[in-house]
Amino acid sequence: MSGAVLKQQQWWAHAALVIAAFSLLALMIGLAVSIGEISIPLATTAKAVSNRLFGSVFELSRIHQGIIWDYRLSRALVAASAGASLALSGAVLQALLRNPLAEPYVLGVSAGASTGAVCVMLLGFGYGVLSLSGGAFIGAVVAFLLVAFLAAGAGGSSERIILCGVAGSQLFNAVTSYIVTTSANAEQARGVMFWLLGSLSGVRWPDVYLVVPVTMFGFAVSLFHVRSLDAFVFGTDAAASLGIAVRRVQVVLLGTTALMTATVVSMVGAIGFVGLVIPHAARFLVGARHDRLLPATMFGGGIFLIGADIISRIIIPQQVLPIGVVTALFGTPAFAVILYRARRTA
Amino acid sequence: MRKFLAAIALAFGFAGLTAPSLAATQYPLIINNCGREVVFDKAPAKIVSIGQGMSEVLFSLGLADRIAGTAVWVGPVLPQYAEVNARIKRLADNDPSFEFVVGREPDLVAAEFEWHVGQQGSVGKREQFAELGINTYIAPADCVAKINADSGDGVRKELFTMDLIYREIAELAEIFDIKERGDALIAELRQREARAVASVAGAAAKNLLVVFWFSSKEVNGDAFIAGKNTAPAYILKTLGAQNVVATEEEWPLVGWETIAEANPAVIVIATMDRRRYAADDPAVKLDFLAKDPVTSQLDAVRNKRFVMMDAQSMNPTIRTIDGIEILAKGINSFGLAQ
Amino acid sequence: MSIRLEDVSFAAGNSLIVNGVSLTVQTGKVLGLLGPNGSGKSSLLRLICRLRKVRSGIIRLGESDVTTLARSDLARRIAFVEQQATTETQLTARDVVRLGRTPHRGVLSPLGVKDDAAVDEALSRVGMEGRATQLWQTLSGGERQRVHIARALAQSPAELLLDEPTNHLDIQHQLEILGLISRLGVTCVIALHDLNLAAMFCDQLAVLQQGSVVAIGTPQHVLTRDLIGDVFGVQAHVETSPIHGRCNIQYIIA
């Protein structure tokens, strides 16, 4: 009797948690739409959203309408999706590679994206056909494939995969530096390094239609593999002895995280910290079992990145701080707190 | 241009007639330049010029025959100097190496920016040149009230004015003992400035909001626009117009929300040959402004009040005068000066 | 027979690690694998549960060739306890044992009542039921080993493979675990270092030297002074113990 009641209670508790998470996400999106570089009264914001969503006809400055709907709302949705993707990728990689310091860029994806972007920018690859984002995406995929190829050849254990990722990243970073240094443009090379800090400024609705489905796809695939992710905790042999198809799971999950990360990086640059810290925070809150960890990580990542984006837009008046600076600035102390409390319980 | 050359000839003529007693430079000459005392025993015979702005000032002073090499070119040289420039060895379009520069055996290295020759100079430190007996001169516009500590464009604490360029011209004229040429050049530039100001003297030009858009990393993303103490800000101040931002950074990255809210009356669009970012292309910039749901609603975009200006006029060089003239012409053409 | 190896060989790179090994394990019996380090014991265990691929030879579980079994069927049937399996993740002992139920659940179906019961039973069999909610990191080496064994038991296996499971245990727990294993009624293959414990708890022993089986049979049959001297390089005196009736090896130090 008590077993069944307990299960029901648990179910209600889970449902409440999920509703709370969605509410928090909605609240953050609301905040992101209302707060920005210029102050727009809340009533105006509500009217603007209502105009587009419900077809009402409130009288509004078209500039304000455009800012709220085309700039801020699309940006908030991309921030949520990007944060969720990065955090989810981080959690999956930390489980697969059995390394608490694993994060989405460990397989060379962001280094490859920089190289791809630089090739389009400075060498004019695919001029007219390929946009900067397109070039970055291709670069990211090429880098990942190279790293995967190296890792497979080297045996495919977690340590080998990480080492190959490091090697791949270094290689592509070197290629990027080479191209930048030898390009015949008389300007400081600072602009190219924007990939390292990330920026959500250029996103519009078409980007939303791309990144949200990718995030959903990644979530579905990862959720399908929660058992496998749990089973990897003692290594590939232990997982295999529990009946997990290790090689297949590695290929599918690594490929999925690479796809999510490449999409995010090519769209908004390499935003650091989210993929590393949020999974740990989520683990601290809901535990290490992946059926709870993955959703918690996604919500955490989305909420965190929206918050970081809001801060990046208001912290310096009339200027936008690169979002990577904000994620590091606010993520580091948060992480220190998590580590400290975890040390005490362990 | 011809008038200018005539003025020079005249000045030479007079110089030849009168004894050049007061106008001559007394050597050894000590100049306090960007926090360093530089001693000149005589007029330098061989110069390496790093920075297009610096090179063009030297050309304007008629010193082309003393230049042994140039480097750092953002775009084509001013047309009137194309011929003399073609005869001078170009060391690099970008940053030259230290060895390459000293290999030309100059006795003076003149630099436009501290980030090329300075404490964190990518070409070299001033001490390195001094050890080899080479003097260095840096454009005052880059070090007076400007902090170049980080790797960006730096932060300017006081408004740039053409006085900094006139100072550069005067100091160089003194170093090379060509004071008359220097004075004549300064006089001509001041004249052009005054004429441009006069052409927009109407009250409506006062407090006109103008934004200078240099480029953007992503077309849709935040824009590099001119800060409050830059050369473009000086252009605006001279013409009595106003900038949309008040930050001291040279080229801050600003979101379109802020620019849109300010609703500038005129948008100055930088034209350049560089195509590092897609937004370097002025056509791309215009296309964005027309198609973006927010910017397409701006007055300046609706009424097509765009002024196309060469990016080099937005740098603190003698071309800033060109910038003043171009913007003045633009304001007049939009009928905003009445 | 529960497990049968027919002329199995395995190589890693160029070195032959397992060389033509043939042996059988009777259903419900415990086979002890003995041999110095590098004799191929660990590799042999991994071959049996198909964690590595044989180069030649056939391994049979019951009547089926191991290579023909589906992965999940294999995992439901045979469990493997590694020598040392560690993790930094904050898991409780119960979480670890629950992993053992993985092959019995579908991809998305949650663990049911039967699974919980199996977990509880496994924990109590290794004597860890009171510590189920303790974090993995706070357990001692021996306790962790017991939890690993519980995880293997939670798999409800028909065959159990253990690679030196008593390495980190104190003597009380060594005896406890080995006693538990010998009473399980499950077919076991267990790699051991301690000759006396092997003699006490195993029904059969197989001695490996450089990848080949040099002796196989009951402990009395296998553990002779000559074999011990030959394979392990130590002098020993073997006699039957009056206490438990099994072999007792006394080492002679020169």
- Whether residue B106 is contained in a domain is answered as yes
Instruction: Give the CATH superfamily of C3-252.
Output: P-loop containing nucleotide triphosphate hydrolases (3.40.50.300)
* Whether pLDDT at B263 is above 60: yes
| Omega of the bond leading into B28 within 30 degrees of 0 (cis) | yes
- Whether residue B31 is contained in a domain is answered as yes
CATH number of the domain encompassing residue A54: 1.10.3470.10
Q: Across-strand partners of C162?
A: C81, C190
Regarding beta strands B36-40 and B47-50, do their DSSP bridges make them parallel or antiparallel, or are they unpaired?
A: unpaired
Are residues B182 and B68 part of one domain? yes
- Which pLDDT belongs to residue C125? 87
Alpha-carbon span B304 to B203, nearest angstrom: 22
- Which pLDDT belongs to residue B18? 46
Are residues B182 and B49 part of one domain? yes
- Which pLDDT belongs to residue C151? 94
Of A69, A194, A201, the CB nearest to B255: A201
For residue C231, the SS3 value is: helix
- Which pLDDT belongs to residue A155? 75
Instruction: Examine the fold and report which residue of B168, B190, B212 is the final residue of a domain before the chain moves on.
Output: B190
Of C82, C102, C108, the CB nearest to A231: C102
Are residues B186 and B284 part of one domain? no
* Whether pLDDT at C103 is above 70: yes
- Which pLDDT belongs to residue A184? 47
Are residues B252 and B144 part of one domain? no
Q: ∠ CA A188-A320-A67 to the nearest 5 degrees?
A: 125
**B109 pLDDT tier (thresholds 50, 70, 90):** very high
- Which pLDDT belongs to residue A100? 85
What average pLDDT does the segment C105-127 reach? 85
User: Beta-carbon neighbour count of residue B227 at 10 Å?
Assistant: 26
Regarding beta strands B223-225 and B253-254, do their DSSP bridges make them parallel or antiparallel, or are they unpaired?
A: antiparallel
- Whether residue B9 is contained in a domain is answered as no
- Which pLDDT belongs to residue B289? 94
Alpha-carbon span B52 to B34, nearest angstrom: 19
CB contact under 8 A, A346 and C51: no
To the nearest 5 percent, what fractions of chain A are helix, strand and coil?
A: 80, 0, 20
Select from A11, A229, A242 the residue whose CB has the most chain C CBs within 10 Å, as the one to mutate to test that interface.
Answer: A242
Q: Which amino acid is at C99?
A: L
Q: What pLDDT digit, counting tens, does each position of B18-52 carry?
A: 444 456 888 889 999 998 899 999 899 999 999 98
Give the closest residue to A191 by CA, choosing from B54, B22, B275.
B275
A273-287, B188-202, B259-273: least confidently modelled range: B188-202
Q: What pLDDT digit, counting tens, does each position of C122-140 carry?
A: 999 888 888 889 998 888 8
Of A3, A227, A289, the CB nearest to C105: A227
A45-59, B53-67, B303-317: least confidently modelled range: A45-59
Q: What H or E segment, with its residue span, contains residue A32?
A: helix A2-34
Select from C45, C61, C89 the residue whose CB has the most chain A CBs within 10 Å, as the one to mutate to test that interface.
Answer: C89
- Which pLDDT belongs to residue B20? 44
What average pLDDT does the segment B277-303 reach? 90
Number of domains chain B contains: 2
Are residues B183 and B287 part of one domain? no
Residue count of chain B, please give it: 338
The whole domain housing B114 covers 25-190
For residue A154, the SS3 value is: coil
Q: Is A62 within 8 Å of chain B by CB?
A: yes
Regarding beta strands C3-12 and C15-25, do their DSSP bridges make them parallel or antiparallel, or are they unpaired?
A: antiparallel
CATH number of the domain encompassing residue B80: 3.40.50.1980
What residue in C sits closest to A4 (Cα-Cα)?
C113
Alpha-carbon span C57 to C20, nearest angstrom: 8
Q: Which amino acid is at C30?
A: V
**C35 pLDDT tier (thresholds 50, 70, 90):** very high
Are residues B31 and B69 part of one domain? yes
Q: Is B276 within 8 Å of chain A by CB?
A: yes
Residues of chain A with pLDDT under 70: 1-3, 126-128, 183-197, 342, 344-346
Are residues B74 and B163 part of one domain? yes
* Whether pLDDT at B248 is above 70: yes
Instruction: Examine the fold and report which residue of B133, B163, B190 is the final residue of a domain before the chain moves on.
Output: B190
Cβ density class B124-147: b for 16+ within 10 Å, e for less: bebeebeeeebbbbbbbbbbbebe
Which chains pack against B, by 3+ Cβ pairs within 8 A? A
- Which pLDDT belongs to residue A194? 56
Give the global pTM: 0.82
- pLDDT greater at residue A191 or residue C14: C14
Both tokens assigned to A213: 């489905």
The whole domain housing A174 covers 2-345
Separation in Å, CA of C236 to nearest CA in chain A = 37
Q: Across-strand partners of B309?
A: B270
CB contact under 8 A, B257 and A188: no
Residue count of chain A, please give it: 346
Q: What pLDDT digit, counting tens, does each position of B66-107 carry?
A: 999 999 887 788 889 999 999 999 988 778 888 889 889 999
Q: C75 contacts in A (CB within 8 Å)?
A: 241-243
Q: Which amino acid is at C207?
A: V
Alpha-carbon span A250 to A229, nearest angstrom: 10
CB contact under 8 A, B222 and A201: yes
Are residues B34 and B180 part of one domain? yes
